[in-house]
Amino acid sequence: MSATDQARSETIEALLTEERRFPPPPEFAANANVGPQVYPEADRDFEAFWAARARELEWEKAFTRVLEWQEPFARWFADGRLNITVNCLDRHVRSGKGSRVAYYFEGEPGDRRIVTYADLLRDVCQFANALRSLGIKAGDRVAIYMPMIPELPVAMLACERIGAAHSVIFGGFSPDAIVDRVTDAGCVLIITADFGWRRGKQVPLKDNCDAAMRHTPNVRHCIVFRRTGHEVSMHEGRDLWWHDVIRDQPDSCEPAALEAEQLLFILYTSGTTAKPKGIKHTTAGYLTGVATTHKYVFDVKDDDVYWCTADIGWVTGHSYIVYGPLCNGTTGILYEGTPDFPERDRFWAIAERYKVSILYTAPTAIRTFMKWGPEFPARHDLSSLRLLGTVGEPINPEAWMWYRDVIGGGRCPIVDTWWQTETGMIMITPLPGVTTTLPGSATQPFPGIYPDVVDERGASVPPGGGGYIVIRKPWPAMLRGIWGDDERYVQTYWSKFPHMYLAGDGCRRDDDGNYWFMGRIDDVMNVSGHRISTTEVESALVDHQAVAEAAVVGRTDAMTGQAISAFVLLKGAELGSEALAEELRAHVGTKLGRFTAPKYITFTNELPKTRSGKIMRRLLRDISEGRALGDTTTLADSSVVAELQTRAKAEAQKEE
C-alpha cells in the first residue's frame, strides 16, 4: 500500500467508525414527499419506475418506448415529444400559478427583483422570438456567458423553446477558455452581459467575449444584456443589445414539439487531458431525472423557499436552480454575488429576508463559514430553514456537524448528494424523510439508480471495502456522450470495466451499505467543488515562455478541499523567483480563469520520473502533502525527490 492509500484508508477508517446517526425527525418523515416504499417500487422494475415519473410531465406526444439501450448509448422515452419550457412555465401559468414567484433575485449591489412564473414565460417567449428573428433554429448551439441574473435562465429556456441547445460557460472563465468551448461546440451566437458584479468589482464579460470572438469566426452575433451600464464596445452588425432585440417581439411564442432525445445542452467539464469534454444532455430523460430528484431529495412543497447557492455555469445550477425547480413550480432564490459582500453575513441576510426553508450549498462554503465564525449566522433569524443539502466534494464530519448545529439549529436533516456533470442528476443521497444520516456519508443510491463499488478487476467489493464507484444500469439523466467524440466517451467511461459506467471517484461502503466518497482517483482535482484537470493547468503553465516543463497535483486544503500545487522547471538553469511565480499564476489565470491559478508553485531543476520518462505524480502528491514517500523503486534518479521535498516544504510554509 502506498503512503497515499495509507493516509486515505486511515481517514476512511475514521469515517467508518463514525457513530453518530441522525434518523429523520418523525414530523418531517410524516409529511415527506416520499416514503420508504419508493425503493422496492423502483427495484421491482426500474424502467417502469422511471416511465411513471416521466408520465408526470406534460407531453406533446406520449411516449410508448421507455429505454433503448445500446451500450453505452441510451435513449429514453424516444418516441415521445415535449417541450421543457412548457413543463417549466406554461403548465404552471395555465393552472393558475402565474403569480407564483419563480425567483427572488438579489444582485450583489443590493438591487432586488421578483420574477413570477408569468414574468418568466413572457420573457422567455420574447427572447425566443428574438433568437428566431436572428436566424437561430432547432439544433443550433448557443453559448451563454452571463452573470447570475434572471436573464441567464431566460436565455437558456428561450433556446429550448425553439429547440436550440445551449452551452453555458462559467463567468469565471477567460477568453481562451471561451474560444475552446465555442469552437468545439460550433456555437453561432454568444449571449452575454456588459459586466457582472463580483465582490464589489465589475467583471468584464463583454470584453472577454470580444477577445474570444477574434478567434471564433462562426459566431454571427453577440447579444449583450446591460447589467451595470458601464461602457463596452459594440461591434457594428455583430453585437446587439438585449433590450433592442426583444423590442417589438410578441410575448408569446409557440413552443417547438421536440423529440425526447433532442440535444438540450452541452456543458464542458475537465477530464484527464488538456481538452475539456463537452458533456451532452438531452431533453426528456434529463428533465425526468432532475425533477424527480429535486422533488424527493429536497422534499419541496408549494410554500417552500428553496435556495441552491451554486453558479448556473456549473451542472448544479443547470439541474437544481433552473430545470428541476422550475419543472416543480418551486419558488427559488437567485443571488448574483459572493457570500462576503458587503459583509460576511450576506447569505444569512438573504436567508432571513426571504425566509429560505431549503438551503443547498457546497462543503467548501461551509468550511469558509466555519472559519469566519458563528457570529455571522447568529445575526439573523434562520428559523425558517427546515432542510440542508451539500454537493461538490466529500464533506468532512466536522463541517457536517457545524452545518447541522449552527446553520440548521440542530433540527434540519442534511442531504449530502453525490453526482456529476455526467450523471446530470443526484445519484447517491439520503431521502430526508426516510434515510438515517451519518456525518460524512452520502448514504444510499437514489431509487432506480444501481451503483456498485468494485475492485481493480471489476469484482464487487463486499461491505466494509473500498474501490471504484461504478453505475451498473442506465438512468434517464445520464450523459448521452461527449460532443463530437464518441470514441473518447467510450474510452473514458466504459472501457475500464465491461458494462459499467466508471465515474472516476474512489468510494467505500460500510456494513449498512452507506457510501463514503473518497475523492477522484484520476488526474482531476477538486478545488472548491470545481473540477480542474491537472493536465489543463500544466499546459497553461508550459504555454508561458519561461517554462520548460510542469507537473501539477492537488494538495489537501482545509478550506478548498484541494489546492493546486505546481512543480515547474524553467528553460534556463535558474530557479524562478517569487515574482515569476506570481507571473505564472497570472498567466494561468488568463489562459484558463483565475480560479485555476496554482496556490503553490515549487521551482525545480528536475521532476521525478520513471525510467521510461513518465512523471511520477504519486510521488509529487506525497511531496506536496509533506508525507512519507511511497514506493520509489521505479524512480530514475532518486536524488531528485529529497531536494524537491525541502523546496516544497519551504513553499508551503510561505503560504501558511
Q: Can you give the binding site for ligand WTA, defined by CB under 6 A?
A: 269, 314-316, 391-394, 416-421, 442, 503-505, 517, 519-520, 526, 531
Could you tell me the smallest distance in angstroms from the CB atom of residue 144 to ligand WTA? 18
Cα 101–Cα 428–Cα 323 angle in degrees, nearest 5: 25
Look-up: residue for cell 467583471?
203
Work out the angle at residue 447's Cα, subtended by the Cα atoms of residues 444 and 451, and round it to the nearest 5 degrees: 55
Residue among 208 and 361 whose Cβ is closer to ligand WTA = 361
Between residues 289 and 576, which has the closer beta carbon with respect to ligand WTA? Answer: 289
Would you tell me the crossing angle of helices 578-591 and 534-542 to the nearest 10 degrees?
A: 120
Shortest approach of ligand WTA to residue 392 CB, angstroms?
Answer: 5
Q: How many CA atoms lie within 13 A of 463 on its CB side?
A: 6
C-alpha cell at 113: 427583483
Q: In what order do the strands lie in the sheet with 466-471?
A: 451-454, 466-471, 501-509, 515-520
Nearer to ligand WTA, 85 or 443 (CB): 443
Backbone angles phi, psi at 515, to 5 degrees: -95, 135
3-state class of 509 per DSSP?
A: strand
- Measured from the CB atom, the residue of 269 and 328 that comes closer to ligand WTA is 269
β-strand pairing of 600-603 with 561-570 = parallel
CB of 504 to ligand WTA, least distance (A): 6
Give yes or no for a contact between 296 and 29, defined as CB atoms under 8 angstroms apart.
no
CB 377, min distance to ligand WTA, A: 22
Residue among 53 and 531 whose Cβ is closer to ligand WTA: 531
> Residues near 161 by Cβ (< 8 Å), separated by ≥ 6?
83, 85, 124, 125, 128, 253, 255, 256
Comparison of 81 and 531: residue with beta carbon closer to ligand WTA: 531
Nearest to 518 by CA among 160, 11, 6: 11
Residue whose CB is less far from ligand WTA, 138 or 521: 521
User: What's the closest the beta carbon of residue 61 comes to ligand WTA, in angstroms?
Assistant: 32
CA quadruple 208, 213, 216, 221: dihedral, nearest 10: 120
Min CB(297)–ligand WTA separation in Å: 11
Q: What are phi and psi of 422, to 5 degrees?
A: -70, -35
Closer residue to ligand WTA, CB minimum distance, 129 or 293: 293
Q: Before 598, cis peptide (omega within 30)?
A: no
Rounded to whole angstroms, how far apart are CA atoms 67 and 510?
32
Q: The C-alpha cell of 334 is what? A: 437567485
Q: How far is the CB of 192 from ligand WTA (least distance, A)?
A: 22
Q: What is the CA radius of gyration of the chain?
A: 24
Residue 49, phi then psi, degrees to nearest 5: -60, -50
Closer by beta carbon to ligand WTA, 520 or else 544: 520
Q: Which three-class secondary structure state does DSSP give residue 219?
A: coil
Rounded CA separation 403/356 (Å): 15
- Min dist CB 525 to ligand WTA, Å, is 10
- Say if residues 152 and 191 touch (Cβ distance below 8 Å): no
Q: Which distant-in-sequence residues (6+ apart) come within 8 Å of 512 by Cβ?
A: 463
Closer to ligand WTA at the Cβ: 357 or 533?
533
Closest separation between CB of residue 526 and ligand WTA, Å?
Answer: 5
Q: Which is nearer to ligand WTA, 9 or 645 (CB)?
A: 9
